Amino acid sequence: MIDSAYIAKIAARITELETEMSVPAVSADHRRLRSLATEHSRLKLVFDRAEKFVRLKRDADEQRALLSDSAADADLKRLASEEIQGLERQLPAAEREVLLALVPPDPSDSRNVIMEIRAGTGGEEAALFAADLFRMYSHFAESQSWRVGMIDASTSSIGGYKEVVCSIEGKDVYRVLKYESGGHRVQRVPKTEAQGRIHTSAATVSVLPEADEEDEIKIPPEELRIDIFCSSGAGGQSVNTTYSAVRITHLPTGIVAQSQDERSQRQNKEKAMRTVLARILDARRTEEAKRMASEKRTMIGSGDRSERIRTYNFPQNRVTDHRINMTIYTLDRFVEGEMTAMLDALYKQDIESKASAQMSDAGGARKD
């Protein structure tokens, strides 16, 4: 439970920040000043909300004491009972507001993403499932007024995707979609199944925040190999004889990305480079998460591509997210892009888990 000792620690840190920001050398360092100001603004919000919560709890405790006082007037006890009911209705929402303010925002939350969907076990059915996932995310993006741009795709013989890479641009794209990374499993009767038997297939999804200038990813030209080739359609037939497709290999890491969706070689090079940078940034973030064990424990899933996060069961019209044990029995609408309830639940659980861990790490007093 949040208490006055925890609020005192926050107040002390706010004072430290205000002192440091007043130092001339810090004021002249715009990056440092911006960082301190961001922390100050966040902690001030936590402080204000925590004070409100503690005040409500203190008032409730005082009214309970009055209620248990045998010498208290009957009318006062009746008023105290009514007051307690009102305070107890406010306390859960007030505590949740504190928890939400406790978690520092991920600086990548506002970024656009590179999404990669790959067919897993299941052959042609897995490729069809990968295409269904791409369609699902495209419909959801459209409902959010986001833009989806194709970067690269490898099609199967019956219209699925062995692999599809796209960009999604808009407001808070990474914050909403970052929980989608992992293994997705489908259970249904495949189009290729003559006996009507239910098969299980899989696909993996990777959601990578796009790199920007703040990441300071500098790649010397000699670390890149750039290959130019003809774009091709399904089956490898040439559809563009102007050699506009581009493949970029980052030699130190072996990261490879290509784009052939645009007619312009320059545009394809820009798209491929965005994917390379996003994958390098993702590799950095993965290594950092491994070093920060306490943060790792609070994540909704690890982002590990091998982790099975969700099952889509078509015969039962249900979709289940295994990380939060949430099942929705409207799979038909979910795959058409109606994903908001699931994505909101993932975000809520993640924030609350991280807030609880943050309070424990900060030494905030809690009771069961």
CATH 3.30.160.20 in the chain is located at 221-286
Over the stretch 155-192, which tens digit does the pLDDT of each residue have? Answer: 888 889 999 999 999 999 999 999 999 999 999 988 76
Which pLDDT tens digit goes with each residue over 74-121? 888 889 899 999 999 999 888 888 877 878 778 888 899 999 999 998
pLDDT band at 304 (very low <50, low <70, confident <90, very high): very low
Residue 295 neighbours by CB distance under 10 Å: 15
pLDDT band at 235 (very low <50, low <70, confident <90, very high): very low
The fraction of the chain above a pLDDT of 70, given in percent, is 86
- pLDDT of the residue at 355: 76
Rg (CA), the chain: 26
For the chain, the average pLDDT equals 85
3-state secondary structure of 265: helix
- pTM score, whole prediction: 0.72
- Position 241 scores a pLDDT of 55
Domain 113-215+301-351 fold:
Alpha-Beta Plaits (3.30.70)
- Please answer whether residues 248 and 229 qualify as being in contact, where contact means their C-beta atoms are separated by less than 8 angstroms: no
Residues 18, 9: Cα–Cα separation, whole Å: 14
* Distance between CA atoms of residues 56 and 86, nearest Å: 10
Query: What local confidence, expressed as pLDDT, does residue 291 receive?
Result: 62
Domain limits, CATH 3.30.70.1660, in the chain: 113-215+301-351
Query: Which of 210-224, 237-251, 334-348 has the weakest average pLDDT?
Result: 237-251
306 pLDDT more than 80: no
Of all helices (H) and strands (E), which one includes residue 325? none
Task: Give the closest residue to 36 by CA, choosing from 26, 24, 25, 47.
Answer: 26
Give the highest mean pLDDT range of 37-41, 61-65, 296-300, 323-327.
323-327
Phi, psi (rounded to 5 degrees) for 118: -125, 135
Q: Using alpha carbons, select from 159, 156, 140 the residue that is nearest to residue 148.
A: 140
Spatial contact of 318 and 332, defined as CB atoms under 8 Å apart: no
Amino acid at 101: A
Return d(Cα 335, Cα 291) in angstroms, integer.
36
Instruction: Give the mean pLDDT of 245-262.
Output: 89
Give 153's strand partners.
164
CB 132 within 8 A of CB 337: no
Place of tokens 């949040």: 2
* 209 alpha carbon, distance to own chain's centre: 9
> Comparing C-alpha atoms, which of 61, 153, 48 is closest to residue 97?
48
Residues forming beta bridges with residue 281, ordered by sequence position:
none
CA distance 180 to 271: 22
Decide: helix, strand or coil at residue 295: helix
Contact of 293 with 361, CB cutoff 8 Å: no
- pLDDT, residue 361, reads 60
End-to-end CA distance of the chain: give it in Å, rounded: 8
Residue 313 has pLDDT above 90, yes or no: yes
Lay out the sheet containing 113-119: strands in order across: 147-155, 161-169, 113-119, 199-209, 182-188, 308-313, 318-321, 326-328
Q: What is the per-residue pLDDT for 19?
A: 93
* Residue whose structure tokens are 């995310």: 137
Query: What residue spans of 144-244 are helical by DSSP H?
Result: 173-177
Inform me whether the pLDDT recorded for 294 exceeds 60.
no
- Under CATH, which number does the domain 221-286 receive? 3.30.160.20
Local confidence band at 250 (pLDDT 50, 70, 90 cut-offs): very high
The pLDDT value recorded for residue 362 is: 54
The neighbour count for residue 195, using CB atoms within 10 Å, is 5
The CA angle 33-34-36, to the nearest 5 degrees, is 65
Name the E strands within 81-223: 113-119, 147-155, 161-169, 182-188, 199-209
332-365 tens-digit pLDDT: 999 999 999 999 999 988 888 887 776 666 554 4
